[in-house]
A and B are shown apart, each in its own frame.
Chain A
Amino acid sequence: MSSSEASVRAEALESLLIDKGLIESDQIDQTISLYNERVGPMNGARVVAKAWKSTEYRQRLLEDGSKAIEEFGFIGGQIDKLVVVENTASVHNVVVCTLCSCYPWAVLGLPPRWYKDPAYRSRIVREPRKVLEEMGTVVSGDKLIRVWDSSAEIRYMVLPELPLEWSGLPESDLAERVSRDSMIGVEILAAPEDA
């Protein structure tokens, strides 16, 4: 289908929903700007930075992610259950949704294009190390790679390892340095031995 056909179909559906009083055009505009401006990976980055700075918060986050992020008051929904998985010296975690594109919107915004691609969805399970390498992320051979398959009920977010050289930074600076990809698990932050 061409994009103009798709556009006409969307417009037709919108007009019917408006005629039926199920939706208002203004609401659609508001929802789009809400997701564009206020829901995004900066939310997850704040959570990660806090967990790096506070051992107590980190424990709560790993025990019950959904509950621990409540205090941030994020909007975006679609998080019935958020499970945060921690990268360590021996384990690297990576998140996928093999069935469709489940993703923790409230903390990471909407998924990037490649996350929804069938190639990523199928290959990351079969050959995670290779796929990660293709994405420029080399996970050292002595680390176990765990792949977490999201569902409508459970969404995963990775708590990346804090790079040593950042350990003196304040929480707000840290939050600016945490990338979306590191929270999906396809990037390792500031890998120091990178040539």
Chain B
Amino acid sequence: MTEGGTSEFPLEGELQPPMANGEVLFEEPWQGRIFAMTILLHQDGLFSWQEFQDELIEVIGRWDAVNDETRQYEYYEHFSVALKTLLNKKDLVASGELSRRIDEYASRPHGHDH
């Protein structure tokens, strides 16, 4: 069992909310946005679900292979890496272009960094 994850599965059953209330899908807003972008781009026909799935399997497979139990399993990090890899492969968003935009955003004066 991995350490650190506070809501790993033994707790889940007990803490499960009444099902008609649905459930908290995303722990942080960015996770929902990455998820939604993936769905929308797929729906627009820019890639097949299988293609995305293959990327995700690869990313998660690499993570599993390292098997460092001190790290938390961050599903949406993997989701995000898979999307970026696929967009780069499809020549939709080049990795370099994305890195530049990230640097630009990260160096903004307010908020966003620690």
Given A16-B101, A23-B40, A109-B22, A4 contacting B9 (CB threshold 8 A): no
User: Which residues in B have their C-beta under 8 angstroms from that of A9?
Assistant: 30, 80, 102
Chain B 4-40 per-residue mask, 1 if CB under 8 angstroms from chain A, else 0: 0101111011101001101101101111111111011
Which residue from chain B places its CB closest to the CB of A152 in the assembled complex?
Answer: B53
Residue pair A35, B19 in contact (C-beta under 8 Å)? no
Does A22 sit within 8 A of B, measured CB to CB?
A: yes
Total A-B pairs, Cβ < 8 A: 173
Distance in Å: Cβ of A127 to nearest Cβ of chain B: 13
User: Which residues in A have their C-beta under 8 angstroms from that of B2?
Assistant: 117-119
Residue pair B77, A117 in contact (C-beta under 8 Å)? no
For the residues of A in contact with B, the DSSP-based class is helix
The size class of the interface chain A forms with chain B is 35 or more
Distance in Å: Cβ of B32 to nearest Cβ of chain A: 4
Q: List 25 A-B contacts (CB under 8 A).
A: A2-B114, A6-B30, A6-B80, A8-B105, A8-B112, A11-B33, A12-B98, A13-B98, A17-B93, A22-B46, A28-B40, A31-B35, A31-B40, A35-B35, A40-B19, A101-B56, A110-B25, A113-B8, A117-B9, A135-B13, A152-B53, A179-B19, A180-B19, A181-B13, A186-B13
Give the interface of B toward A (CB within 8 A). 1-2, 5, 7-10, 12-14, 16, 19-20, 22-23, 25-26, 28-37, 39-41, 44, 46, 49-50, 53, 56-57, 60-61, 64, 73-77, 80, 83-84, 87, 92-93, 97-98, 101-102, 104-106, 112-114
